[in-house]
Structure 1
């Protein structure tokens, strides 16, 4: 039972830190454009065939 005296406040403290980080992220507009980066990573930026052949020879 003595362990609960340490673990309960520790769990509450970690939860408050997480909640504080969430509110900071909301205030700093970290979630302003959630789709932008996800779609940019899927864009097809292949090298032209000639440049790809030159890279393969190196």
Structure 2
């Protein structure tokens, strides 16, 4: 029976650790914009082409 108490207490500590890590990630802005990076990789080649249109003398 004491093993069950030990496992429950360890699982609560692990869950609190994951909760704190999630809160820290949200506060640091990691989840602010999750749409733009996926779209940016589709248009990356077009941005490079527009930047290289300058004339070289």
Structure 2 equivalent of residue 41 of structure 1: 41
1:22 aligns with 2:26: no
1:4 aligns with 2:4: yes
Pairs aligned (count)? 45
Q: Any runs of at least 4 consecutive aligned residues in structure 1 with deviations exceeding 4 A, and if so which?
A: none
Counterparts of 2:31 and 2:44 in 1: how far apart (Å)? 25
Identify unmatched segments of 5+ residues in structure 2.
46-57
Counterparts of 2:44 and 2:23 in 1: how far apart (Å)? 35
Counterparts of 2:4 and 2:19 in 1: how far apart (Å)? 22
TM-score of the superposed pair, with normalisation by structure 2: 0.65
